[in-house]
Structure 1
Amino acid sequence: MRIGNRDFAIGKHTYVMGILNVTPDSFSDGGSFNSLERAMSHVKEMIEEGADIIDVGGESTRPNHVQITEQEEIERVVPIIREIKKQYDIPVSIDTYKANVAREALKAGADFVNDIWGLKYDVNMASVVKEYDVPVCIMHNRDNTEYGDFLNDVMEDLKESLEIAKKAGIREEQIVLDPGVGFGKTLEMNLECVNRLEEFNRFGLPVLLGTSRKSMIGLTLDLPVTEREEGTMVTTVMGVMKGCGFVRVHNVKANVRAIKMTEAILKANGNKKK
């Protein structure tokens, strides 16, 4: 898969998407990077630690978040994206479910659209992705937790998103899938999603896992958001073992190391005695 000017060898390595929230209220790092200077300092740090993509978000999508206007979101993300592309040679993703925000981000140089509503929230999103011919991450989401057969229902929801993409003319090789851990799911459902990640490979598309510091980890370990790194790294290791192409994380250094160690173990043939 090609994102921006880089090729990603899906199936051979799990890549790291570093999170850059330029928001005042994101659940983990709200207010930490919502100035150009602080944001760029963090981008530099994540690149040095091994990030493969920088994911820029201008609106918090934490539970009970307050939606902001498209214009406010654009004003938050566009200057940051422009500056990242000016200073660094790294693919940039725009984390939004609004077509107009995506369009302005792509104009500013973004290479990838990360849509938490899987092309279903904004009817124009798929056409914007097609127009700019960029990869898109289609995440599973719904506004309730009422399922009949949980995982099969999730797969059916994703099929609906894929049909939207197909009708818009988005090429299959441009699509990444995200199981949507933390969105429209109970704790038990989120745990099941991670446990059965390999089942999402049935679509033949790269899978992105986004669990970093989420409530699934906090509730399981009874820990605040500031103490969820070990839990996040466990899910990253699971993602590698189950074939995920990408993980989306806050702590790039720790997760890059976890991936490197896991892949080394998985690739080891063992030293057989002659």
Structure 2
Amino acid sequence: MVKRKFSGIPLGDEAPAVITGVINIAPETFYKESSVQNPQKAADRAEKMIEEGADIIDLGAMSTAPGVEPISLEEEKQRLLPVLEKVSERIDAPISIDTQRAEVAKIALESGGQMINDVSGFKYDSRMPSVVTDFDCPAVLMAAKQEPGDARKIEEVKQVLQESLDICDREGVDLEKIVIDPGIGFGKGVKWDLHILKNLHELKKLNHPVCVGISRKSFIGEVLDLKDPADRLWGSLGATAIAVMNGADMIRTHDPKETIHVVRVVEAIRGKVD
């Protein structure tokens, strides 16, 4: 059984699923209503998410949605740091930093961040494992061959995640602090997103907690014929129920209150929580 602590939060088969509230600093994000650049407003939102049941707040300053051009290193830092400073002043919960860049990760961890969410699975910036090791912090690693979320079949997802775990092993990263993410979304197509959700339990063979980010993503819009992400809450909750039933240990969401209700009911049915 996988049972660990992630920045002091129990995580794994015996523990309730961890709820991560997503705050997008990048204006390019696919879900425009989730985007907030003002540090004070971001801190307000973080506080509300914690009140609604989020365990962790995740801050991302660069969108990795398909077709979005990456911003410069300096722009990522300029967007992130003022928001991180204000949010860390206002909440006691752990703050995760969504970045692929070691320099951003280092500065963020020095400025109040406590964990890293790397959608490249340590494959974009070879210096990232050293930063994670130096700060002895947890990290979520997404399945990526060459781009975030580009693995499709579940066996391929397992293979590229194992590659990331092998990087951790070679670079001295504490594997007890690693969570894996199959990378649902990212333009791979609705067929493959549904396939991964259906077969999510296969990732348990890697013996690491599993994080899933499905909140309001395009595959839900395709299934329901809903172009606007603002209309995809109920579909997101349905997919979240399946994810937790199939073994997800962490859920990234824009909507902690609604999500935690669904998650706890599913856990009660599974008998996961005493």
Same fold (TM over 0.5): yes
**Counterpart selection for 1:150 from 150, 153, 169:** 153
Cα-to-partner distance string for 1:231-254 (whole Å, 9 max, x where unaligned)? 111121112211211000001111
CA-CA distance at 1:30 after TM superposition: 6.0
Q: How many residues align?
A: 267
User: How far apart in 2 are the matches of 1:239 and 1:263?
Assistant: 11
Other-structure match for 2:242: 238
Q: Does 1:125 align with 2:128?
A: yes
Other-structure match for 1:272: none
Amino acid at match of 1:256: I
CA-CA distance at 1:130 after TM superposition: 0.9
Distance change (3 Å), C-alpha of 1:98 and 1:171: same
Cα-to-partner distance string for 1:89-144 (whole Å, 9 max, x where unaligned)? 10010001111111111011111100000000111111111111101111012457
| 2:212 and 2:243 in contact (8 A); partners too | yes
User: How far apart in 1 are the matches of 2:97 and 2:150?
Assistant: 29
Other-structure match for 1:10: 12
Amino acid at match of 1:211: I
Distance change (3 Å), C-alpha of 1:55 and 1:211: same
Structure 1: 4+ residue segments shifted above 6 A: 144-147
Q: Give SS of 1:63's match.
A: coil
CA-CA distance at 1:79 after TM superposition: 2.0
User: How far apart in 1 are the matches of 2:208 and 2:157?
Assistant: 15
| 1:18 and 1:249 in contact (8 A); partners too | yes
Q: Does 1:262 align with 2:251?
A: no
| 1:57 and 1:96 in contact (8 A); partners too | yes
Distance change (3 Å), C-alpha of 1:72 and 1:31: farther
User: How far apart in 1 are the matches of 2:95 and 2:104?
Assistant: 14
Cα-to-partner distance string for 1:207-262 (whole Å, 9 max, x where unaligned)? 00001111110111110211111111112111221121100000111101111222
Distance change (3 Å), C-alpha of 1:69 and 1:18: same
Other-structure match for 1:229: 233
Q: Does 1:29 align with 2:32?
A: yes
Q: Does 1:135 align with 2:138?
A: yes
Distance change (3 Å), C-alpha of 1:31 and 1:220: closer
| 1:15 and 1:245 in contact (8 A); partners too | yes
User: How far apart in 2 are the matches of 1:95 and 1:146?
Assistant: 18
CA-CA distance at 1:83 after TM superposition: 2.1
Other-structure match for 1:42: 45
Range 106-115 or range 177-186, more displaced: 177-186
User: How far apart in 1 are the matches of 2:204 and 2:267?
Assistant: 18
**Counterpart selection for 1:52 from 30, 51, 55:** 55
Distance change (3 Å), C-alpha of 1:9 and 1:3: closer
Stretches of structure 1 that go unaligned for 5 or more consecutive residues are 269-274
TM value normalised by structure 1: 0.92
Other-structure match for 2:173: 170
User: How far apart in 1 are the matches of 2:90 and 2:173?
Assistant: 30
Cα-to-partner distance string for 1:142-198 (whole Å, 9 max, x where unaligned)? 457987x92222211111111111111011111000000013622211110000010
Amino acid at match of 2:61: G
Other-structure match for 1:211: 214
